[in-house]
Amino acid sequence: MNDLLTTVDWSRWQFALTAIYHWLFVPLTLGLAVIVGIMESIYVKTGDDKWLKTTKFWMTLFGINFAIGVATGLILEFEFGTNWSNYSWFVGDIFGAPLAIEGLLAFFMEATFVAVMFFGWGKVSKGFHLASTWLTAIGASISALWILVANAWMQYPVGMEFDPAQMRNVMDNFWALFSGIAVNKFFHAVLSGWALAGVFVIAVSCWFLLKKKNTDFAIRSIKVGAWTGLVGLLLTMYTGDGSAVQVTRHQPMKLAAMEGLYNGSTSQSLVAVGLVNPDKQWNNDEDPYLFNIDLPYGLSILARHDANAFVPGINDIIAGVDINEQGDTINTVSYAERIERGKAAQESLRRFDTARKAGDAAAMEKARADMMKDYQFFGYGYFDSVDQAIPPVALTFYSFRVMVIVGSYLILFFLVVLFAAYRKQWLQREKWLQWTAMITLLLVYLCSQAGWIVAEVGRQPWTVQDLLPTCAAISDIPSASVITTFWIFAAIFTMLLIAEVSIMCRYISRNAKIQLD
């Protein structure tokens, strides 16, 4: 058992490590592809060689980042088979479909047109080259679509039916995968990439301003980056609002962890800033916060778009208590009952397997009917106590606030940069703004990572919500092999990151000596 727990923990750490490194590259790819497309569109429309130089500069940085992102993404997908083979077996029929489409459609689309994008200058017409640039950007977003559809399905499993004869889930409605969670997650992730890439372009351009090199080029780039970033950020916030509503409906425990909320109420306030009490447990009377400043009605509005709505906390969800739209108290299924019914579903599955081996059709049908009655709680049967079904509250709480606070700051940042960009001499003169832009690049990456931590840590301990916890999803491999590969991947990814940053910095520095204006 100890080795099993070690394997689970190290497998989770390894997947988290890979995902975090991969997500350093993905949003920049998604956003920079759009910015390059906008710049080349301006070049094709105006015929101005200054925009051609601008396009090629940012296109090269896009290419460096794109290559590293592909490498980390491939390793991430392989880990489903190496570390999470039980998961792959249990839901591979559903989860594998969008990933296969991503590989066959989006990845090959990107690979085809990115080649024209980089090597087609002077070999194809301006119009065809521009189309290739935009198709590369579209391909990157389509690639993200299928991956995020797969991830959203893990958060809200739909469009499937469990087949006890195969001991696995099979897809019965492909289009159900495009749930509200999937749609919001796709737009939220892709549009946040626009905001991140906008900050990246501004930060690099401000370095040129700080060095007093290629200032006209820098101003041009800042305007495109700031407008793209601002539009992306505002739309990201809009889709974030939609995501909050979807999480409230389908993952209320995640929402409660995001807020550190144990006992819900009507007209529920939102904690703007606060410190979580580390001694607080769901079954003690400790205060949830050491310090907090609340926004009245904030969580009710965020979660249900109703200032008077009831939002359940962790204790309410555990007890199976909620309040409907009419204000009546209703009882859902408590966690204790979910665990009991989950174990019953698993026992029914074992009876089905025994009857199948014995060739007893009547007993098979009876066991199958009993199992399907409780199958929605199948995953809870792996737990021995309620505590195992509660996500890490503190990490989810703080990550959510980092995402929201930095995201709110970015609105002000983009507005100030745009104001300054159209007052050219002011932007060139104010070094504090140039330094702020470069520091903001670190903050926007922190914001981006925090968003994924909220999404993934907030749904723990599940790999598939309510159906398969992490302890049942792993491969039967020794913990020593996972530990070894964890450190190997950590070293490789760190070297790749250092290589990318080093190559980018050398390229940027070299272009400071070249006329781009």
Residue ranges in the chain whose pLDDT is less than 50 = 1
Do 414 and 226 touch, CB atoms closer than 8 A? yes
Do 207 and 224 touch, CB atoms closer than 8 A? no
Q: From the CA atom positions of the chain, what is the Rg in Å?
A: 25
Integer Cα distance of 143 and 100 in angstroms: 10
Portion of the chain with pLDDT greater than 70, in percent? 96
Do 177 and 98 touch, CB atoms closer than 8 A? yes
Amino acid 281 reads Q
- Asked whether the bond before 312 is cis by omega within 30 degrees of 0, the reply is no
The 10 Å Cβ neighbour count of residue 64 is 17
Q: How many CA atoms lie within 13 A of 302 on its CB side?
A: 22
218-273 per-position pLDDT tens digit: 899 999 999 999 999 999 999 998 888 889 888 999 999 999 999 988 889 998 88
The three-state DSSP-derived secondary structure of 450-481 is HHHHHHHHCCCCEEECCCEEHHHHCCCCCHHH
pLDDT of residue 515: 66
Amino acid 194 reads W
pLDDT of residue 1: 47
DSSP 241-273: HHHHHHHHHH-HHHHHHHHT-SS-EET--EEEE
Q: What is the separation, in whole angstroms, between the first and last Cα of the chain? A: 65
Q: Read off the pTM.
A: 0.91
- Asked whether the bond before 98 is cis by omega within 30 degrees of 0, the reply is no
Integer Cα distance of 410 and 319 in angstroms: 39
In the three-class reduction of DSSP (H, G, I as helix; E, B as strand; rest coil), residue 290 is classed as strand
Do 159 and 94 touch, CB atoms closer than 8 A? yes
99: tokens are 């990933």
Query: Residue 305 gets which letter from DSSP?
Result: S
State residue 291 phi and psi, 5-degree precision: -160, 140
The 10 Å Cβ neighbour count of residue 409 is 14
**Nearest to 224, CA basis, from 187, 264, 197:** 197
pLDDT of residue 325: 56
Integer Cα distance of 136 and 140 in angstroms: 6
State the residue for tokens 């690099």: 204
In the three-class reduction of DSSP (H, G, I as helix; E, B as strand; rest coil), residue 274 is classed as strand
Portion of the chain with pLDDT greater than 90, in percent? 34
Integer Cα distance of 69 and 32 in angstroms: 13
85-106 per-position pLDDT tens digit: 888 888 878 888 888 887 777 7
CB-count burial class (<10 Å; 0-12, 13-18, 19+) for 306:
middle
pLDDT of residue 4: 57
pLDDT of residue 411: 94
Integer Cα distance of 36 and 57 in angstroms: 9
